Amino acid sequence: MLRIVKAIFLVMIFIFVFPLNTSAQDLISINDMIENAKEYDGKHVTIQGEVIGECLERGEYSWININDGTNAIGIWLKNSDTKSIKYYGNYKYRGDIIKIKGIFNRACKEHGGEPDIHNISFEKIKSGFYIQENVSAAKIFVSIVFVISALLMFLFYYKVFRVEKGIK
Amino acid sequence: MKREKKKKAYSIEIISYYTGYIIFIISSLMIIPAVVSLFFREWSAMLDFVISSSISFIFGLALTMFGLRTRESKSNVHWKHGFAVAAFSWLVLTVLCAIPYSLSGHTQSFLDACFDVMSGFTTTGLVLLQDLDHISNGLNMWRHMLTFIGGQGMIVLGLTFLVKETGGAYKMYVAEGKDIELLPNVKGTARQIWKISIVYLVIGTVVLWIIGMIIGLNPISALFHGFYIFQSAWSTGGFAPNSQNIMYYHSIMYETVSMILFILGSLNFGLHYAIWQGKRKEVVKNIETQSFFITSFTVCILALAGLSRLHIYPDAVAGFRRIIFNVLSAHTTTGFGAVYARQFINEWGDFGVLIMVIAMLIGGSACSTAGGFKGLRVGIVFKGLIMDVKKLLTSERNMKVYKFHYIKERVLDDVLIKSSAIIIICYIVIFSIGTLLGTYYGYSLSDSAFEAASVTGNVGLSGGVTTPSMPVLLKVYYIIAMYLGRLEFLTVFALIGYIIGGIKKYVKNR
């Protein structure tokens, strides 16, 4: 009996110390997940990235898209989870950085075979911000120079055109 | 003095004059993305377009002025001029239209910017732009406009604005890969092509706008997304405003409407016009629609059968959204991807990849926005094969004329079959070189073949080869393959021949 208890104890240690499945704690890049989609299919995964675009509400749930710098993927989550997201990344904003723990589906049955992640837990790591657009003085100067050059060129062309047509 | 004025213009002046005119038209279109940037208060992006349009305007005007004697002397435009103008305009415009890409800071090099522009013009849809999710509305507008203009044709656009018909218009029009005559004059035909596209543009954008709002996009964003996706679908381009392409929307409705639009876009303008004229039977009788229906049905069934054996997708809905959508996207040379690039290679297996390669190479219809061999040529060669078999089996004294229906009844002769077969062979050669080059750089055979078919057929689906870090030579080759595929070889060969001829003449005269 004691031998069996010892064996179970050892097995339990092995399971916890050397897990066969990927731990949900380990961050995975989206590209790695896609590259090894069959391996990760149906497993718990953790990804971290910027929320981009906008929130697409579908009833009680929503889609958000996360870009981790390697690729982007859709996250299916409850509407209540999206409330804490303030910034969605686009030209003017750097989106919130969030950490998602969820189940990766290589070809989600619920969503027409789409590769997605169904959210289990959600954590905001860093808030997004407004990207201050810096227009350099050099760019403004170059623009003015080219616009004036184009206008002068057009005037010259117009003059040549008039001469050619015999208009004084 | 007067006699000197009447002296005919040199070829280089004729080419310069018309190229300048087309550049002038396209450069003025940069005002649209500049206005979009102004609307969204994207100041830096707006200045990028101001600089780019000014440079293009100056360049276009300089070329026009250099060739001004063309108009003055009413010089005739020969076929060689028409072909050279088309091929040269595409090259020059690729460089000029890449300026705002480069100024945006979203490209690693100017070559990458040119790659994206050529990809847009040729309605391919491969992307080297980086951080696509953060690009300006102005640049997004420009990317999608380029694919829309490229789909209908830059020469077609230039001819639309012609004040009066010129003798060379038809030659330039044909040189751009379009030969359908909807109306007796080319200017009218060009305008009709744009009229058809604009009507679809309005309907398609409104439908996608409504669906966009239903699926959760805000109204302004839904309108722009609808406009972009329509342009991309109708032009069989495959660009999308976000890095996830069509998967960004997570919507079967959005995908289905896009699919309908890209199928419509891959059909011949002549067919659209015939239907507008009430000739609905044309859909059934036309050799191209017959060919498209047979090939698309065959590749869809084969892909479904092949992938169901691998148990890749769980049910019929997934089969429709992931297999049918992608296969038709490949066949119409659109390039909207409903799975990730690497999933094609890793999950679809060799059979699935091979089906996609075949679908991409066949392509859509002639005189449409699609690329590839074109259904017309496949149909002609197939009918030619049947004709030869029939001839073998019948008496030599039996002289039968074989015909096919393409807008009207046409005689199927050996010259037509030969010219169709030559173009198909050219496509296969370009595809083979692309595959060879890919494998040379260490990509797998399936990766290389998939990407080579995608660039040759102007499709835009990727197996993961096309990235900013890919070898420079491969980027250059893909640009050339897209260019050759879109202009259907002869136009580019004519330009090369013209340049070589000019060099020989110069050397001889020295």
Which tokens sit at B92? Answer: 């020059």
Q: Which residue has the higher pLDDT, B177 or A17?
A: B177
Please provide residue B317's backbone torsions phi and psi, each rounded to the nearest 5 degrees: -65, -45
- DSSP result, A92-157: SEEPPEEEEEEEEEEEETTTTTEEEEEEEEEEEEE--EE------HHHHHHHHHHHHHHHHHHHHH
At B413, the pLDDT band (50, 70, 90 cuts) reads confident
Asked if B249 and A164 come within 8 Å (Cβ–Cβ), the reply is: no
Q: Which residues of A touch B50 (CB under 8 A)?
A: 143, 146-147
Q: How confident is the model at residue B407 (pLDDT cuts 50, 70, 90)?
A: confident
Q: CA-based Rg of chain A, rounded to a whole angstrom?
A: 28
Q: Name the residue facing B243 among A72, A115, A116 (closest C-beta).
A: A72
Q: Which residue type is seen at B235?
A: S
Which of chain A's residues have a Cβ under 8 Å away from the Cβ of B317? Answer: 112-113
Contact of B73 with chain A, judged by CB distance below 8 Å, is answered with no
| Side-chain-side CA neighbours of residue A160 (13 Å) | 16
pLDDT in tens, A42-52: 999 999 999 99
**pLDDT of B191 higher than 50:** yes
Which of B47, B134, B215 is closest, CB to CB, to A89?
B134
Q: Chain A interface, mutation test: which of B43, B52, B54, most A Cβ atoms within 10 Å?
A: B54
Q: How confident is the model at residue B294 (pLDDT cuts 50, 70, 90)?
A: very high
Residue whose structure tokens are 């050619």: A164
pLDDT at B295: 92
pLDDT over 70 percentage in chain B: 94
Q: Is B273 on the interface with A (CB under 8 A)?
A: no
In a mutagenesis test of the A interface, which of B43, B52, B103, B250 is the best target, namely the one with the most A β-carbons within 10 Å?
B250
Name the residue with higher pLDDT: A166 or B133. Answer: B133
Q: Is B45 at the interface with chain A, CB within 8 A? A: yes
Task: Tell me the pLDDT tens digit for each residue of A88-145.
Answer: 999 999 999 999 999 999 999 999 999 999 988 989 999 999 999 889 999 999 999 9
Residue B1, pLDDT > 50, answer no
Tokens 């996360």 -> residue = A66
Q: What is the pLDDT of residue A164?
A: 64
Return the pLDDT at B76: 76
Tell me which DSSP letter residue A27 carries.
B
Rounded Cα distance between B484 and B500, Å, is 18
- Considering only CB atoms, A135 lies closest to which of B43, B54, B64, namely B43
- In a 13 Å sphere around the CA of B274, the CA atoms on its Cβ side amount to 20
Instruction: Classify B405 as helix, strand or coil.
Output: strand
What are the structure tokens assigned to B248, written together? 């960004």
**B248 closest CB neighbour out of A53, A113, A143:** A53
Residue of A38, A41, A57, A90 to mutate, interface with B, max B Cβ within 10 Å: A90
Confidence band (pLDDT; 50, 70, 90) for A158? confident
pLDDT for B240 equals 96
Examine the pLDDT at B448 and tell me if it is beyond 90: yes
pLDDT band, very low/low/confident/very high, at B503 (cuts 50, 70, 90) = confident
Q: Tell me the domain boundaries of chain A.
A: 23-130, 136-168
User: DSSP state, B374?
Assistant: -
The mean pLDDT of B284-289, rounded to a whole number, is 86
Q: Is B133 close to A67, i.e. CB distance below 8 A?
A: yes
In residues, how long is chain A? 168
Residue type, B491: T
Question: For residue A64, what is the nearest residue in chain B, using CA coordinates?
Answer: B248
Q: How far apart are CA B125 and CA B116, in angstroms?
A: 8
Q: State the pLDDT confidence band at B216, using cuts at 50, 70 and 90.
A: very high
Return the pLDDT at B3: 46
Tens of pLDDT, residue by residue over B61-80, are: 999 988 888 877 777 777 77
**What's the confidence (pLDDT) of residue B132?**
95
The predicted structure's pLDDT at residue A7: 61
Q: What percent of chain B lies above the pLDDT cut of 90?
A: 60
What is the pLDDT, as a whole number, of residue B246?
A: 96
**Residues 338-377 (B) with a CB less than 8 A from some CB of A:** 338-340, 342-343, 346-347
Is pLDDT at A13 greater than 90 in this prediction?
no
Residue A17 has pLDDT above 60, yes or no: no
pLDDT of residue B169: 67
Nearest to B381 by CA among B407, B404, B399, B400: B404
Determine the Cα–Cα distance for residues A104 and A151; give it in Å rounded to an integer: 57
Please report residues of A whose CB lies closer than 8 A to that of B321: 112-114
For chain A, give the mean pLDDT.
Answer: 87
Cα distances from B277 to residues B196, B260, B268, B409, in angstroms, run 12, 21, 14, 17
Rounded distance between C-alpha atoms, residue A113 and residue A157, angstroms: 59
Taking only residues 156 to 215 of chain B, the set having a beta carbon closer than 8 angstroms to any beta carbon of chain A reads 215
Kindly state the tokens that stand for B192.
């009709």
**Beta bridge pairs of residue A45:** A102
Residue B247 sits at the chain A interface (C-beta within 8 Å): yes
At residue B417's C-alpha, the angle toward residues B416 and B418, to 5°, is 90
Instruction: Assess A97–B contact: CB distance below 8 Å, yes or no.
Output: no
pLDDT for residue B381 is more than 70: yes
Check residue B218 and give its pLDDT. 95
Q: State yes or no: pLDDT of B306 exceeds 90.
A: yes
Coil, strand, or helix at residue A49? strand
What pLDDT, on a 0 to 100 scale, did the predictor assign at position B437?
A: 97
Write out the two tokens for B285: 């009788």
Give me the residue label for tokens 């990804």. A47
Residue type, B291: S
Q: Above 70 in pLDDT, residue B180?
A: no
Distance from CA of A119 to the nearest CA of B (A): 16
Cα A63 to chain centroid, rounded = 12
In CATH terms, the superfamily for domain A23-130 is Nucleic acid-binding proteins (2.40.50.140)
Q: How confident is the model at residue A35 (pLDDT cuts 50, 70, 90)?
A: very high
Buried b (16+ CB within 10 A) or exposed e, B23-55: bbbbbebbeebbebbbebebbbbbbbbbbbbbb
What's the N-to-C CA distance of chain B in angstroms? 29
Instruction: Tell whether the model's pLDDT for residue B325 goes beyond 90.
Output: yes
- Residues of B (298-337) whose Cβ lies below 8 Å from A: 312-315, 317-322
Tally A–B CB contacts below 8 A: 142
Give residue A18's pLDDT: 47
pLDDT band at B173 (very low <50, low <70, confident <90, very high): low
Minimal C-alpha gap between B47 and chain A (Å): 6
